[in-house]
Amino acid sequence: MKNNKVLGGGEFLLTKSKALDVFIPEEFDEEQKMIAGMCQDFLEKEVFPNLNRIDSMEPGLMRSLVSKAGELGLMGISIPDEYGGFGQSFVTSMLASDILGAGYSFAVAYSAHTGIGSLPILYYGTEEQKQKYLPKLASGEFAGAYCLTEPNAGSDANSGKTKAVLSEDGKHYILNGQKMWITNGGFADVQTVFAKIDNDKILSAFIVERGFPGVTINPEEKKMGIKGSSTVQIFYNDCMVPVENLLGKRGEGFRIALNILHIGRIKLGANSLGAGRRAILHSVNYANERKQFGNFISNFGAIKYKLSEQVIRQFVSESSVYRTSKYVDETIKMHIAEGMTKPQAYLEALGEYAMEAAILKVLGSENLDYIVDEAVQIHGGMGFSAEMPVDKAYRDSRINRIFEGTNEINRLVATDMFLKMAKKANSEVFGVAKSVYETLDSINGDSTAITDYFEKKYFYVQNLKNAVMLMLGKAYDAIGKQYSTEQEILMNISDMLIQLYSVESTILRVEKLQGIKSELEYPIYKDICDVYVYEAISTFYKSAIDALNSFAEGEEYTKIMNGLRKLTTVECVNLKEARRRIANKLIEDNNYRFW
């Protein structure tokens, strides 16, 4: 562990977290709140009034929005001052991604530009490349894109066929190939393009300008959602790329791609927050206006259930995203203090939290999908009308489970990182798994004797940690070398990890809120915690049993099953009343005001 306050990647599994050591969104400082307000103002003035124009792909409109956001400094949030950027912390950049995540198609253009469109140059570029491109990317004078995917190379990115060959005079790489699903590709001035040099087995990366000879951009794709975002195929036909535009070292492209995807995943977790809050706003506004049977539908229990569940899932995503964001920030600071350059420190920190990034991507996108789906349902027949804003929210949300690696890939990434962590020489994971198995018969899962509220909640958390390590250890013992191919089991274990991390993050936030919220305000957050912990543990148990059914049998199966029952025992909660209290606050405020 790096110090006694900041947990390293995956260390939440082995170490008890403390509420005082985590960051929660109620702790934003005045400068961060000002930046959030600036982002919100931009949406209110430039994006929300023009949604139909954006979705109709009005020529030049999205590009002009990128420029306007750049003039405000929003496109350079993560770019250091010396390159014309805002030079903000990782938490602040996540907050900007959060607020602007409510911007529908603009949120996609913003995220692609500020993330995968700019950061490869920031983290891997030479000083000359940074000086040439970053100031213009930060100002919005240039728009950025990231060109990795090919027709036959999606999740298996390194199988791409795009080739680069050095010209006879040694001054250019001659690029030939095809890229698809390129966000911002229709108007991007600068592209990070991945290709294999000669007969290399591993990708390299290149900075390609739109105006280079041999770059051909196809018409815009027709999509289910995010209709206003530019998505095109790009062809490279004997494209002449100056040798000085090789990004990073030869053969380093696949590493660049993976590291940038870590960033994209964690940022997508933040994007989902802004979109979720806006969908909740539309849900409660409609429920407070629509009457049936002589009553506003917000008075009906079935609607209150939906509204409360939207709030709970939003709150859980927020808790998990900002907890992790601060870990990343503190780790970056630590690496810089140790002598790393800023780019090295960022890459090292984001690579360290690859498991958490994958968890946040899945958690955020799936919680958002639930929120927008129920937003449509709350609107009833009107929700199916393209005239209502929830239509756009529903369609735009669906891509998030595919972006930055599908959720299936991200679940596998999470379990892969878990296994790698377990196999480290100094790891305690397999030792804990063995100890838990040996003591399963004597484990006491009964928490009724624990009277302190948070002590009881952390008792549950520790049981979940023991259960997930038990399942990894026993599954690995049973399957052996075939472990990595048993994707159904890996998915189950990944779901256990997601539930565990989100449960602990929620409890930590609610505990810390004791010192922030008044006695009158505070009980509603305990309601959120009670409902989520109870339900998440039920989901956790099902995932564990589904995995167990796939690899264990006989006496071992019976022993583990009985142990899992004890490790996932949770006291009953009056879910109906807790949910009604949560919904009533949302209904009274007529907006999401839980952060």
Q: For the chain, how big is the Rg over CA atoms in Å?
A: 24
CB 245 within 8 A of CB 172: no
DSSP character at residue 47: I
Catalytic residue, candidates 404, 455, 486, 588: 404
Please give, one letter per residue, the 3-state secondary structure of 291-345: EECCEEHHHCHHHHHHHHHHHHHHHHHHHHHHHHHHHHHHHHHHHHHCCCCHHHH
Nearest C-alpha neighbor of 4 from the set 330, 328, 349, 318: 330
CB 334 within 8 A of CB 3: yes
Q: Report residue 199 CA to chain centroid gap.
A: 35
d(CA 254, CA 25): 34
d(CA 509, CA 505): 6
d(CA 39, CA 454): 36
- Two structure tokens written together for 497: 């990890």
- Two structure tokens written together for 271: 């994007």
CB 411 within 8 A of CB 358: yes
Torsion region of 480: left, alpha or beta (phi above 0 gives left; psi -120 to 50 gives alpha): left
d(CA 121, CA 13): 34
Residue 556 annotated in active site:
no
d(CA 193, CA 172): 15
d(CA 159, CA 153): 6
Q: Which SS3 state, helix, strand or coil, does residue 233 take?
A: strand
Tally Cβ neighbours within 10 Å of residue 224: 10
CB 145 within 8 A of CB 190: yes
Return the active site residues: 404
